[in-house]
Chain A
Amino acid sequence: MMGIGGVETTGCSHNIRVDLPLHLRRLAALPDQRHDLILEVPVPVTIASILDTLELRFPMLRGAIRDHVTHQRRPFLRYFACAEDWSHRHVDTPLPEAVLTGQEPLIILGAIAGGC
């Protein structure tokens, strides 16, 4: 079964589009140009299962999005899906159908937090 943008889905997994900020793309040795990373994520597709899959494929991202041990989201990062902020929802909450079908990505966003 093919989702939007060539994203395939199967009965037990979905190919999920993930949008990473520049610094994490570089850390994972991905191209600088903004593009969706596609991950095959087992069902149920949740923020937790996407991050598990992401860290399995890119071990260098462990600790960069969530704590190694507690899995608590780093404070200046946010999760967005379907134009909604999912940062404070339970990470085991199933994501919307539009993410599962590839219509929408899961966006991991660095906060615009000033600094120097």
Chain B
Amino acid sequence: MSHVRLLIGTRKGAFILTSDGSRRTWSISEPHFPGWEIYHLKGSPADPDHIYASQTSGWFGQQIQSSQDGGLTWSPVNNQFLYAGSPGVHQSHDGTAQPWQFKRIWHLEPSLHDPDSVLAGAEDAGLFQTSDGGLHWTEISGLRASESGPLWQPGAGGLCLHTILLHPTDPERIVIAISAAGAFRTDDAGKTWKPINKGLVSQYLPDPTAEIGHCVHHIAMHPQRPNTLFMQKHWDVMRSDDAGDHWTKISGNLPTDFGFVIDVHAHQPETIYVVPIKSDSEHFPLDGRLQVFRSRSGGNEWEPLTTGLPQQHCYVNVLRDAMAVDTLEECGIYFGTTGGQVYCSSDGGDSWNAITHDLPPVLSVEAQTLP
């Protein structure tokens, strides 16, 4: 019988949650790397027991950990992330020049085919790669060296490259997103990149339709439809059907379209999920009610999903990498909150159960469906 393994990154360590396919009872590991911020963990699609973790600390800097046994044991790999060439400058919040400086890895994206190949999204925004399981990291410098690089400015969370989407069949196509520069795509395996932000409107920009400067929070893609991208922007939920060349707003009847996470049902490419957050000034659910919204029509028409979720006095946030889906026949949806809850729906979102209430603030959730 299939089972599910959840990889949970939190402010104070990593946790591994496992269940059989019923997803009714869960085992929760002891904390891995206790006391460290674990921004993200992800397993190789080619070898799910080969898992990478981004471990970081304001005191001790960045570590990358690798496990070959599904997270039972870990070994640190190389943690040196050097920007290629002379790093140059980007813009600070106030528009002044700021030297590029590595701070941490936000997101790890293992190759679809090779467990030793991984992309890593950094703050300050850069894309790094390893092809030897993390023994060496090199920058894919074409991104930061693109024409707009010196104009990028950080969002409130830093100038972070937080989203990496791999095309399922075209290894030369990669989509990434940076707060607050926007979305970018390469069609030549990283040599050149172009901004893909047409159709985004951000009222906080001097030019609301500028080519760059948009605070993209997250992008999701269904592997069967890699040209269709769904974006949760700072404000606005967006959709593109041409791999990001053009975007249209699909916020529709959402009560607020600010938020961080967005994800796609494993078997229904037009069924998408968001967790609306009240505003960029108040990072908690509207009216203290935690609601996931589902659209079965690829956007615009949304329904609230509340069964099993707290409907009063709830003031948590759900961060950008903290939602995931499994691929069991009845698709499971998972998300973690800054209050330390991890919720599971084993019926596509109709109802929810808290797997745990008491983890540290959740930074990321990944789901692995295992035989």
Q: In the complex, which residues of chain B have a beta carbon less than 8 angstroms from the beta carbon of A83?
A: none
Are A113 and B58 CB-contacts (below 8 A) given A60-B76, A62-B80? yes
Q: B61 an interface residue at 8 Å Cβ cutoff?
A: yes
Q: Could you tell me the distance between the alpha carbons of A27 and B57 in the complex, rounded to whole angstroms?
A: 12
Question: A23 contacts which of B59, B62, B76 (Cβ < 8 Å)?
Answer: B59
Contact A63 B59 (CB under 8 A): no
Q: B315 an interface residue at 8 Å Cβ cutoff?
A: no
Question: B61 contacts which of A21, A74, A111, A115 (Cβ < 8 Å)?
Answer: A74
Interchain nearest-CB distance for B112 vs A (Å): 29
Q: Could you tell me the distance between the alpha carbons of A56 and B57 in the complex, rounded to whole angstroms?
A: 22
Interchain nearest-CB distance for B337 vs A (Å): 15
Q: In the complex, which residues of chain A have a beta carbon less than 8 angstroms from the beta carbon of B18?
A: none
Contact B80 A68 (CB under 8 A): yes
Question: How many residues of chain B get a CB closer than 8 Å to chain A's CBs?
Answer: 15
Of all chain A residues, the one with the shortest Cβ separation from B57 is: A23
Residues on A lying within 8 angstroms of B by beta carbon are: 21-24, 26-27, 60, 62-65, 68-69, 74, 76-77, 110-111, 113, 115-116
Q: In the complex, which residues of chain B have a beta carbon less than 8 angstroms from the beta carbon of A69?
A: 82
Are A76 and B59 CB-contacts (below 8 A) given A23-B35, A23-B36? yes
Q: B107 an interface residue at 8 Å Cβ cutoff?
A: no
Given A63-B62, A115-B58, 8 further pairs, Cβ under 8 A: A23-B60, A62-B80, A63-B79, A64-B63, A76-B59, A77-B60, A110-B60, A113-B59
Q: In the complex, which residues of chain A have a beta carbon less than 8 angstroms from the beta carbon of B33?
A: 26
Kindly list the 3 A-B residue pairs having the minimum CB-CB distance in the complex, ordered from nearest. A60-B76, A64-B60, A76-B59
Contact B59 A116 (CB under 8 A): no
- Annotate B32-43 by CB proximity to A: 1 below 8 A, 0 otherwise: 010110000000
Q: Could you tell me the distance between the alpha carbons of A116 and B12 in the complex, rounded to whole angstroms?
A: 9
Q: In the complex, which residues of chain A have a beta carbon less than 8 angstroms from the beta carbon of B60?
A: 23-24, 27, 64-65, 74, 77, 110
Q: In the complex, which residues of chain B have a beta carbon less than 8 angstroms from the beta carbon of A115?
A: 58
Interchain nearest-CB distance for B252 vs A (Å): 36
Contact A111 B59 (CB under 8 A): yes
Of all chain A residues, the one with the shortest Cβ separation from B360 is: A116
Tally inter-chain residue pairs, CB-CB below 8 A. 43
Q: B90 an interface residue at 8 Å Cβ cutoff?
A: no
Q: In the complex, which residues of chain A have a beta carbon less than 8 angstroms from the beta carbon of B63?
A: 27, 60, 64
Interchain nearest-CB distance for B126 vs A (Å): 15
Q: B11 an interface residue at 8 Å Cβ cutoff?
A: yes
Q: Could you tell me the distance between the alpha carbons of A62 and B58 in the complex, rounded to whole angstroms?
A: 15
Q: In the complex, which residues of chain A have a beta carbon less than 8 angstroms from the beta carbon of B58?
A: 76, 113, 115
Q: Could you tell me the distance between the alpha carbons of A69 and B79 in the complex, rounded to whole angstroms?
A: 12
Q: Could you tell me the distance between the alpha carbons of A111 and B57 in the complex, rounded to whole angstroms?
A: 12
Q: Could you tell me the distance between the alpha carbons of A22 and B36 in the complex, rounded to whole angstroms?
A: 11
Q: Provide a sorted-by-A list of 23 A–B residue pairs whose CB atoms are within 8 angstroms.
A: A21-B59, A24-B60, A27-B76, A60-B76, A62-B79, A62-B80, A63-B79, A63-B80, A64-B60, A64-B61, A64-B79, A65-B60, A68-B80, A69-B82, A74-B59, A74-B60, A76-B59, A77-B59, A77-B60, A110-B60, A113-B59, A115-B58, A116-B11
Interchain nearest-CB distance for B312 vs A (Å): 25
Q: Could you tell me the distance between the alpha carbons of A23 and B33 in the complex, rounded to whole angstroms?
A: 8
Q: In the complex, which residues of chain B have a beta carbon less than 8 angstroms from the beta carbon of A27?
A: 60, 63, 76
Tell me which of B59, B62, B79 has the highest count of chain A C-beta atoms within 10 A of its own C-beta: B59
Q: In the complex, which residues of chain A have a beta carbon less than 8 angstroms from the beta carbon of B57?
A: 23
Q: Could you tell me the distance between the alpha carbons of A26 and B35 in the complex, rounded to whole angstroms?
A: 11
Q: Could you tell me the distance between the alpha carbons of A111 and B82 in the complex, rounded to whole angstroms?
A: 26
Q: In the complex, which residues of chain A have a beta carbon less than 8 angstroms from the beta carbon of B79?
A: 60, 62-64
Q: Could you tell me the distance between the alpha carbons of A111 and B62 in the complex, rounded to whole angstroms?
A: 17
Are A63 and B61 CB-contacts (below 8 A) given A27-B76, A69-B82? yes
Of all chain A residues, the one with the shortest Cβ separation from B55 is: A27
Interchain nearest-CB distance for B104 vs A (Å): 12
Of all chain A residues, the one with the shortest Cβ separation from B58 is: A76
Q: In the complex, which residues of chain B have a beta carbon less than 8 angstroms from the beta carbon of A26?
A: 33
Interchain nearest-CB distance for A107 vs B (Å): 15
Of all chain B residues, the one with the shortest Cβ separation from A60 is: B76
Q: Could you tell me the distance between the alpha carbons of A114 and B79 in the complex, rounded to whole angstroms?
A: 25
Of all chain A residues, the one with the shortest Cβ separation from B80 is: A68
